[in-house]
Structure 1
Amino acid sequence: MTSGVPITSSELANLWMTYQEKTMILRILEHFIEHADNEEKLLLQTHYNNASIAIDTIKEIFKQEGAVIPIGFTEEDVIKGAPKLYDYMFDIMYLHMMTKVEMSLYSLFCGMSYRKDINDFFINLTAESQEMNSQSTQFLLEKGVLVRPPFVSMPKEVHFVQDTHYRSGFNLLGELRSLNTIEVSLIHHAIETNLVGMQLMIGFAQVASNKDVQDYLVRGMKLSKKIEMDLGEFLRKSFIEPPATHAGKATTSKIAPFSDKLMMYNTSLLTSFGLGSNALGSAFSLRNDLPAKMAFLAKDISTFASDGGRIMIKNGWIEEPPQIEDRNELTK
């Protein structure tokens, strides 16, 4: 499989991060599959099988390179037989959200891979996550669970911005201008993701055994709600209803199907993804009030991420990534 060319630091890092994420996904899916209906189980099992193959591929590369196999997340991080933690359709909503994360990660990793076999590996993972996201999207739409972004009239003419008021968020009459389609799409995406993330953390908080973890997850739940409310207000001012769904709620179970370590890692991963999405929204918005709001939210998200890291370090839950050789001794 190898070409005789050693793997680079970026390739090693990206394989290592993928191993962490994929082993976590396996544990989550094991709980979901245990309680899934037949229709849902088919999608979940497909993603489970793909993740298992990816993990085996990474193990083989590490063995060939003489690298230690990471621990990641094991059978100790999932409790078989635990009651269902989330109700109707949450498992597919979670899959839909996580494949968005995976599409972003793996396409980025493709551009950071130079050895052909590793580049091909991430190209394949990108395609798998895209296909799974497409399937989960169509599944949720057919079940009436996923809300489409608003439909708009098709443009008939090309216009250019004529006044700097466009950037300030106001039109030539001094009235707050309506959002453009780019801004609506970014807001819709952020709200959709946070709605699922909020329910995820509600369930996690109910079953966490560590009090610090429980308090932290409650903070995450409230932060997701704040993001949803603040960004939703931009849509409401343009007479657009924010996305919402009747499905995918946390149950009342107090019995943990996952370890606190796994729940904290999953929260950390989604928080990092949220920061990236927030930056994207700020970069492409042409209304100054929207990036300003996102900057305030980014500060809250960043603080939340930092506090989570401290909890994970305190409990010994962060596996250290591969380290560059320390050359400082040579300079002494």
Structure 2
Amino acid sequence: MTSSQVPITSSELANLWMAYQEKTMVLRILEHFIEHADEEGKQLLQSHFNDAAKNIETIKSIFKEEGAVIPVGFTENDVHKGVPKLYDFMFDIMYLHMMTKVEMSLYALFTGMAYRKDIKDFFIKLTAEAQQMNGQATSQLLEKGVLSRPAFVSMPTEVKFVKDKGYLGGFNWFSETRSLNTVEVSLIHHAIETNLVGMQLMIGFAQVAEDKEVQDFLVDGMKLSKKIEIDLGEFLRQSYIEPPATHAGKATASKIAPFSDKLMMYNTSLLCSFGLGSNALGGAFSLRSDLPAKMALLAKDIFTYAQDGGKIMIKKGWMEEPPQVEDRNQLTK
């Protein structure tokens, strides 16, 4: 029996379904960005658009072969052509940089959950494409001077081992509590960088949302991103490190929506999931007790916010249901 003759597993079905949702959403976002991009940015965005369109067709083919219904995802009804651009200089590439980070994490996870060779190879391909695109976006942002590099540090000249349990303690202005180590700095920088882009995304979304309940929710998301940036930035400042910042990628003054409220809510939900994963990673790899504690509090805020968003999406009829496992309990009734 060839790999394509082996039925796909529940994990493979779920992850293909999730990939379809994410890819169709990104396609709609890119359509708006490409419409307003400069020539250099347009080439990069179009390349990612073309890859996404091909991958969507691959997922459709697999579903058809397996006799599964094609998800709705996001269609041409979720993007409005010919409207003013919602974001200013370089935000399109900043968004691409952020979303390829999400894709690298997501598809690497899906690869490890795939068992059929063609499905595993497909997710490996998606991971590689996201990595390549992230590298190109990073290079372009650095060339334009709109991406802050993490702090430079002196290179270690000797290997050291922790000898004092005080190493695990939190920050205290009046004690000899240690500064952050490079592992902790890297995770904080990543979280702040992502939330800076997320904050501008929420500002733009909130400006153009048609539904008042959605608008209020997106304003709350803007405030939450700002809170995360400020709270985590303070950890860097305590170690005399300036948090990342950028002068580019702001929301314009446009009040005309390029995207449906449904799409903006899903994009926000996806970033919440990514934020929860990043916070869990940051807390797990930090050896300073105050940082995991802060990460846990922020994770609680993100989780509560994501739940509120889910309730709105269900109320509006925008939450597409993932494939369901057969309810065997019905047989006992």
Report whether the alignment pairs 1:237 with 2:238. Answer: yes
1:329 Cα deviation from its structure 2 partner? 1.8
Tell me the CA shift for residue 318 of structure 1.
0.5
Structural mapping, 1:36-115, within 5 Å: 36-115=37-116
Q: How far 1:169 sits from its partner (Å)?
A: 3.0
Partner residue of 2:25? 24
Instruction: Name the structure 2 match of 1:287.
Output: 288
Aligned-partner Cα distance in 1 for 2:273–2:259: 21
Residue 220 of structure 2 is matched in structure 1 by: 219
| TM-score, length basis structure 1 | 0.98
**Separation in structure 1 between the aligned mates of residue 7 and residue 182 of structure 2, nearest angstrom:** 46
**TM-aligned CA deviation for residue 326 of structure 1:** 1.1
* Structure 1 CA distance for aligned equivalents of residues 105 and 315 of structure 2: 29
Q: Is the 8 A contact 2:171 2:290 kept in 1?
A: no
What is aligned with 1:179? 180
CA contact (8 A) 2:100 2:130 kept: yes
Superposed CA deviations along residues 200-244 of structure 1, whole A, max 9, x for unmatched, are 000000000000100000000000000000000000010000000
Following the alignment from structure 1 to structure 2, what is the Cα–Cα distance between the partners of residues 78 and 72? 13
Letter in 2 for 1:186: L
3-state SS of paired residue (2:257): coil
Residue 3 of structure 1: CA displacement? 2.2
Match of 1:133 in 2: 134
Name the CA distance, whole Å, in 2 between partners of 1:81 and 1:2. 45
Query: Offset of 1:2 from its aligned partner?
Result: 5.7
Distance in 1 between residues matched to 2:31 and 2:215, nearest whole Å: 23
Number of residue-to-residue matches in the alignment: 331
List aligned pairs for 1:123-272, cutoff 5 A: 123-169=124-170, 174-272=175-273
Q: Give the distance between the partners of 2:64 and 2:12, measured in 1 at CA.
A: 15
TM normalised by structure 2 equals: 0.98
Structure 2 unmatched runs, 5+: none
User: For residues 85 and 154 of structure 1, what CA distance do their matches in structure 2 show?
Assistant: 43
| One-letter amino acid of the structure 1 residue matched with residue 126 of structure 2 | L
What code does the residue aligned with 2:325 have? Answer: I
CA distance in 2, matches of 1:197, 1:161: 37
Cα separation, 2, equivalents of 1:11 and 1:57: 14
Give distance in 1, aligned partners of 2:322 and 2:171. 47
Cα deviations by residue, 1:123-162 (Å, 9 ceiling, x for unpaired) = 0000000000000001100110100001110000111111
Q: Distance in 2 between matches of 1:3 and 1:147?
A: 45
Q: Which moved more, 1:91-100 or 1:1-10?
A: 1-10
Deviation at 1:286, TM superposition (A): 0.5
1:113 counterpart letter in structure 2: A
Amino acid at match of 2:68: A
> 2:299 matched to which residue of 1?
298
Runs of 4+ with deviation above 3 angstroms? none
In the TM superposition, what is the alpha-carbon distance from 1:62 to its structure 2 partner?
Answer: 0.5
What percentage of residue pairs aligned between the two structures are identical?
80
Q: How far does residue 175 in structure 1 lie from its aligned partner after superposition? A: 2.0
Amino acid at match of 2:38: D
C-alpha separation in 2, matches of 1:240 and 1:175: 18
CA distance in 1, matches of 2:59, 2:9: 14
